Chain A
Amino acid sequence: MPRLGDVCRHIRSKNAGPFWVTIDLFFDGPQSYLAWRDDPAIGATAIAELYGADAALVRRYAVDSLNVVKLSLPRRQPQGGVLERDMHSGQQYIPLLQVELGRVA
């Protein structure tokens, strides 16, 4: 089964205001998008677990016209502050590259 990084042409993460991070998964075409869009590995529960967030707050959007799945979740800490390591959340997508798709839940 593929990893998410294999079926996307681009994955990015970015701060969306001081309290949220948003992740855009640009699938490499409609075939991959339709095949994996609803995979539990990129569902709210799995994403919440991966990022230590509250699953009830994870938002997931399917943008059919762009073959994109968008995931938005609260940051572990607000942007800035003593513990900050990634001010713009620009590297927060990295753990997703290795996420395995198609595993039976």
Chain B
Amino acid sequence: MTDDRGDACRVLVPTGALGSGVRTDELDAGMRLSPHAIALDAGSTDSGPAALATGRSKYSRAAVKRDLTPLMAARASAAIPLLVGSCGTSGCDAAVDWTLEIVQEIAAEQGAAPRIAVLYAEQDKAVIRAKSQAGAVRSLAPERPLEDATIEACNHIVALLGPEPYIAALEAGADIVLAGRTTDTAVLAAVPLMRGAPAGPAWHAAKIAECGGLCTVNPSWPGVMMSVDAGGFVIAPLAASNRCTPDTVSAHMLYENSDPFRLVEPGGVLDVTDARYEALDDRAVRVTGSRWTPGPYTMKLEGAGGGPFQTVMLVGIEDPAVLADVDAFVARMWRALSGRVRRALGEATAERIDISLRPYGWNAVSGLAPAPGSAPPREIGLMFVATAPTQSLATEAAKVCNPTFFHLPVSDGRELPSYAFPFSPAEIERGQVFEFHLNHVVETSSPFELVRTRWVGAPAGSRIDA
């Protein structure tokens, strides 16, 4: 079978992440191909634990609104659903509600009244504790025990949704589905699965399309169309000037995936070991041979919380005497700063403070010793990081270290040098350190057990909660 407009289910994926930029020229081109849905992902753990620990979006409100506005207009004029997964980066409840409020503002501006299904994926700690006690939570590799303290350390815990709650919302009449944390693939696979597409191609197409234009020759064009039919799927960029090739498409299975052949999803495993990637023409690729093996319904858990606080300083150093032996200078500086903190703040307080020095331009990135005989750098940026239980204590440490950090000579008895501070004040309160705590999956009795659905602008017969 080929990509026959008649029997394929087409999902327009306008960009790899809501807020990263939708191109309206691409969107217009894609809408002319009569997609059955617009779907995209709005979140990830990719940028680190801060989004989940704080509930705040990686992308700004203005950027998310800028992307949602044309998507909602296109959705309304074609009367097709819009699905957004992992709202507000982390997909915790606050991030979903933040996105909902933007959607409602746009709807009012467009004079529209879409029926919105909101799917919440955040989990109560007591529920996770109970699941854990019942033996329904297990660690993924690398093994991390799940203790009550681990659960307590999380500010937010989310369970990654599968496609079933999306399908239920669409079947109940949703125009827009805004969901909490979801697997990147489930939000894109939902409509093809609902319309009866085989699971292997539906999930595989979703995996390829999840980062938008990253599976194309020119990822600066963010939009792609996935067309799933009974025999496979076709992936093509939305922009006429962009191309997908068998290599760009198959290589996407490598990206950010620890396993390029198998992908565990809620309710099964996608296996692309035997997938064939063929150029359909000079810009579209057809993929066949993707397999789906149903399995127990498990949802991945993500949890993050707050740790200590940091204050940073940066000096630039071009002094050849320092650069001749950076390691010796950094070691000397660290001893001087540690002594300064102990004397100024007392031993007991000093024990609660960690001072870290990272010489950018030398070995700050790896922290490993450079090869013996490495040539001196032309300059370094020496970053000072004080980590302490409170922001004020971290800043206190930076302030007492400031004169030493600014003026320490390479050896005793020399005139005091002054290094190059770029900022005044020299110290920057960087804020809290956030940490991921969960690397687990939870078994559920059904795809809906850990999901809550709320309707805004409800269809007949549903609970109105707007």
Residues of chain A touching chain B, judged by Cβ–Cβ distance below 8 Å, are 14-20, 22, 24, 54, 57, 59, 61, 63, 65-66, 68, 70, 72, 74, 78-82, 84-88, 91, 94-95
Among the interface residues B258, B354, B368, B434, which one has the most CB atoms of the partner chain A within 10 A? B258
B254's partner among A59, A66, A87, A94 (CB-CB below 8 A) is A66
Query: Residues of A contacting B46 with CB < 8 Å?
Result: 15, 88
Chain A residues near B256: list those with CB within 8 A: 14-16, 22
What chain B residues lie within 8 Å of A24 (beta carbons)?
254
Measured CB to CB, the nearest residue on chain A to B435 is A81
Is B257's CB within 8 Å of the partner chain A? yes
> What are the interface flags for B37-52 relative to A under an 8 Å C-beta threshold, 1 for contact and 0 otherwise?
0000000011111100
Besides the known contacts A78-B439, A80-B433, 14 further A-B residue pairs in the complex with CB atoms under 8 A apart = A16-B258, A24-B254, A57-B142, A61-B261, A68-B254, A79-B45, A80-B49, A80-B304, A80-B434, A81-B49, A81-B433, A82-B433, A87-B47, A87-B48
Name which residue of chain A comes closest to B434, CB basis.
A80
Stretch of B90-98, B229-237, B359-367 at the chain-chain interface: B359-367
Mostly, the B contact residues are loop
Please tell me if the beta carbons of A17 and B258 are within 8 angstroms of each other in the complex: yes
Q: Is B7 an interface residue (CB 8 A)?
A: no
Q: Is the C-beta of B141 less than 8 angstroms from some C-beta in chain A?
A: yes
Report A-chain residues with C-beta under 8 Å of the C-beta of B435. Answer: 78, 80-81
Q: List 21 A-B contacts (CB under 8 A).
A: A15-B256, A17-B258, A18-B302, A22-B254, A22-B256, A54-B142, A59-B258, A61-B261, A63-B254, A70-B254, A74-B142, A78-B435, A78-B439, A79-B45, A81-B49, A82-B307, A82-B354, A82-B433, A87-B47, A94-B365, A94-B366
Interface set of B (CB-CB < 8 Å, partner A) = 45-50, 140-142, 247, 250-251, 254-261, 277, 302, 304, 307-308, 310, 354, 358, 364-368, 387, 433-436, 439
Contact (Cβ within 8 A) A17 B45: yes
Q: Which residues of A contact B365 (CB under 8 A)?
A: 85-86, 91, 94
Q: How far is the CA of A7 from the CA of B443 in the complex (A)?
A: 44
Min CB distance, B211 to chain A, in Å? 12
Residue numbers in A under 8 Å from B259 (CB-CB): 59, 61, 72
Known: A17-B258, A70-B254. A80 touches B50 (CB 8 A): yes
CA of A80 to CA of B255, assembled, Å = 20
- Check B387 against A82 for contact (C-beta < 8 Å): yes
Partner of A19, one of B358, B433, B434, B439: B439
Docked Cα-Cα span, A7 to B254, in Å, equals 19
Whether the pair B433, A85 counts as a contact (CB closer than 8 A) is: no
Q: How far is the CA of A101 from the CA of B362 in the complex (A)?
A: 27
- Give the 8 A-B residue pairs with the shortest CB-CB distance, closest first: A72-B258, A80-B49, A18-B436, A74-B142, A16-B258, A80-B48, A78-B436, A20-B258
User: Would A79 and B436 be within 8 Å (CB), given that A57-B141, A91-B366 are in contact?
Assistant: yes
